[in-house]
Chain A
Amino acid sequence: MLYQEAGQLARRYAAERRIFRLRQDRIGLLLLLVFAFVGVPWLGNDYWFSAILIPFMVLSLAGLGLNLLTGFAGQLSLGSAAFMAVGAFAAYNLQLRVAGMPLLLSFALGGVIAGLVALVFGLPSLRIKGFYLLVSTLAAQFVVEWVLTRFSWFTNDNASGVITSPPLIIAGVDFSSPQGRYLLTLGLLVLLFWLGKNLVRSELGRNWMAVRDMDTAAAVIGIRLLKAKLLAFAISGFYLGIAGSLWAFAYLGTVEPHGFDLSRSFQVLFIIIIGGLGSVLGNFLGAAFIVLFPILLGNLSALLPVGVIDSGQLENLQKVLFGALIIVFLIKEPEGLARLWQRFRLRLRVWPLRY
């Protein structure tokens, strides 16, 4: 009833082409943004900011980075964590070695450097496809980790190979409180998602999808594969690099190269598989599932009286439950949570009628 489009007619082409054509969607998004920027900092506490919201947002962003490459351009990659590491360490070194470097600029340049590294590791994509490409991007994972641990220059010769966050000050405002780090992450997240959503609707995004669906056909209709594939790697690397900086500085405050190991790459990959390949919203849903669900289970199990179940076994039970849920979701909707949401939305538009 509330969610219907009757009477909303587009009178201009621009209105026809807008991202959110339904007025309800636009109002909903606006309310959500107001709530995220004003309501949450006011209502939330340290635990919500530092342990739940920030990692959720950062991994959503990383998910978008990989989704641009895998979900939209169809290039499989297992190097996500490596590109995150490049972004984080580049931003750290820029902060450290260039006097007066603004924080956001170092994040952006860290992203650019990560994009360039991703571009190099994307070169094999011109010759190989699918699982073979997956294996070649795996190289990025090992090479980057090795370089960052082998050459202590990158960690400023820290004895343990750990880097710590520079002061989070932007234009004189200190963002190092939990609220501040939340707002910093949220701001970048909104900006980059806005950019990403527009990107996939642009000519480049449509080229990517053509390449994904069949690259020979795409080449025949005049899409330059070289440019499309390499840009996908570079832009994906840029997103992942910024996500890496946020992970290191806004979330943990400290990071070591092994914090970006292969399991982090898998985590990002699972986020987009469960959330939905080729979907922007899916990154949020996937990250929510992968990041928040185990925390929820942990919190729920902490409510159980001590001593009923052995705490080690309780932990293993949670893993069993989590794994079972992944299987259930993927059987129920192989195209991911985003598709589930889309179906729900379609039904909502005609509710209370059947169709």
Chain B
Amino acid sequence: MNHRTSLRRVALALALLGSGLASAVQAANEQYFPLQSYRVGPYAAGGTGFFGGFIDYMQYVNANGGVNGVKLTWSECETEYVVEKGVECYERLKGGLNGAPAAATNPLSVGIAYATLERSTADKLPLITINHGRTDSTDGSVFPYVFPLQLNPYSEVSAIVNYIGQRDGGIATLKGKKIAVLYHGSPYGKETNSVLETLAKNYGFELTTLEVPHPGNEQQSQWLNIRRLKPDWVILRGWGVMNPVALKSAQKVGYPVDHIIGNIWSNSEEDVIPAGAAAKGFISITTHPSGTDFPVLKGIQKDVPDKGQGNLADAKRFGTVYYNLGVVNGILNVEALRIAQAKFGEKPLTGEQVRWGFEHLDLDDARLQALGAKGLVQPLKLSCADHEGGGAVRFQQWDGQRWNLISDWVQADRGLLRPIIEASAAQYAKEKGITPRDCSKEQ
């Protein structure tokens, strides 16, 4: 890749010299995505699927002429989901590649996102944490460069609680119910505990939180606790190997699997297939369905894997939850680039300009139809004050073979969450001495 692009650059530079238009800085008409990926370690299943989908989508865009003629390039740096490695990768890749400026980072790890949050802001490089991240970064006036797209952790648990209420016949029935939360012992896992307590107080249900230490392959004692407690519902806030182990342990202690609700990182095929029959009936939340029927996925299939360029080592994973999330993430990044290009010109853009694009991301049904992603991506509109945009989820159930959608879109109670988010962002701003932007003056 390096050789090829540098050859291309040389050829291009010579051509430009010939026409007397030599411009060394913009010689490569390319936009670069630094990928802090992880393909080994306990979370490899998530990393290979997500980055596979993201890379395949970028290849698909390139095969169809790039973004208004600007080609996308990328390079990978292995993080193993380890914070220090993620920081090292961030510092290594942030400067761009062969003159192509970096557009945004997508670490897919809360720990790494936390560690690079201030760096991203200082370096003016957007930090995208799709479906996860630091919740109060939803408030773009304090966190201009951070985007927890689609669904932040608070919206996620709020939607789960709303769904439980709905199933049992109205949110009022939550009173007196027992809900246990089994969470991954990491910043990601803990992120929602405080808001769950708020929700518990609000709706009057009894909350128990149980931590599973990283990586989560030993949960006997937690599940024995659950058996003693007999909760009405268990919310599984897992990640990687923790999920199948949870489902198997649940079966061992005899807890009904159709009363376990997996969160956004416990909702993939890789989470249920290793658990075998124990996973049948497991419910989980999702922002996007799995499947290959969407026109955009058909297009990717035709232009990338069918030509032998697919990024997945196991072609069968095409169209799974993680892969599709990578595609969704690709779509959102590329659309932000497109919107920014409409303002700043059809050329490689700086991180600062791409940030503007993210903040003005506006995907309605018509645009999603045109992208071939209707039903795959939810309609999304971001603004200076709201860096999340969507906040809606659906629920799916595993039947032993595939995920079936079992609910319509369920909205998070964003009105209830917003003041908590704003208070938390304001506290952060105070600690760090940041003056929040005035969103009414943003263009």
**Chain A residues in the interface with B (C-beta under 8 A):** 46-47, 50-52, 55, 149, 157, 159-162, 164, 167, 251-254, 256, 258-259, 261, 295, 298-299, 302-303, 305-307, 310-312, 315-316, 319
Contact = CB atoms under 8 A, between A and B. Distances in A.
B48 A46 contact: no
A150 B429 CA distance: 26
A133 to B, nearest CB: 25
A307 to B, nearest CB: 7
Interface stretch (B71-79, B335-343, B374-382): B71-79
Nearest to A259: B83
A349 B283 CA distance: 72
Contacts of A310: 313
A252 B83 contact: yes
A273 B123 CA distance: 38
B1 A46 contact: no
Contacts of B187: 160-162, 256
A134 to B, nearest CB: 21
Given A311-B78, A312-B48, A315-B78, A252 B39 contact: no
Nearest to B214: A258
A158 to B, nearest CB: 9
Contacts of B365: none
A124 B84 CA distance: 33
B75 A306 contact: yes
Contacts of B95: 47
Interface of B: 1-4, 37, 39-40, 44, 48, 75-78, 80, 83-84, 87-88, 91-92, 94-95, 110-111, 114-115, 117-119, 134-135, 185-188, 190-195, 211, 214, 313, 424, 431-433
Contacts of A251: 84, 87
Contact of A256 (B78, B111, B424): B111
Nearest to B195: A159
Contact of A252 (B1, B87, B186): B87
A197 to B, nearest CB: 28
B186 A258 contact: yes
B91 A159 contact: no
B324 to A, nearest CB: 20
A312 B186 contact: no
Chain A contact residues: helix, strand, loop or mixed: helix
B190 to A, nearest CB: 5
A51 B92 contact: yes
B134 A160 contact: yes
Given A252-B83, A252-B84, A159 B193 contact: yes
A116 to B, nearest CB: 27
Contacts of A162: 114, 187
Given A302-B75, A311-B78, 14 more contacts: A47-B92, A51-B92, A149-B185, A149-B211, A159-B191, A159-B424, A160-B110, A160-B191, A161-B190, A253-B118, A254-B118, A303-B2, A312-B40, A315-B40
Contacts of A164: 114, 118, 431-432
Contact of A253 (B77, B80, B88, B115): B115
B95 to A, nearest CB: 8
Given A307-B1, A315-B40, A167 B190 contact: no
B88 A295 contact: yes
A273 B431 CA distance: 41
A121 B190 CA distance: 29
Contact of B91 (A50, A161, A167, A256): A50
11 contacts: A55-B84, A164-B431, A167-B432, A252-B83, A256-B114, A258-B185, A298-B77, A306-B75, A312-B39, A312-B44, A315-B39
B135 A159 contact: yes
A338 B144 CA distance: 48
Enumerate the 6 nearest inter-chain pairs by beta-carbon distance, A residue then B residue, closest first.
A312-B39, A160-B187, A306-B1, A51-B91, A51-B88, A47-B91
A306 B117 CA distance: 29
Nearest to B117: A254
A319 to B, nearest CB: 8
Contacts of B115: 252-254
B13 to A, nearest CB: 21
Contacts of B94: 46
Contacts of A254: 114-115, 117-118
A291 to B, nearest CB: 9
A311 B194 CA distance: 39
A306 B77 CA distance: 12
Contacts of A51: 87-88, 91-92
Nearest to B424: A159
Given A159-B191, A159-B193, A312-B40, A256 B186 contact: yes
Contact of A312 (B2, B111, B313): B313
A51 B85 CA distance: 9
A153 to B, nearest CB: 14
Contacts of B91: 46-47, 50-51
A135 B92 CA distance: 38
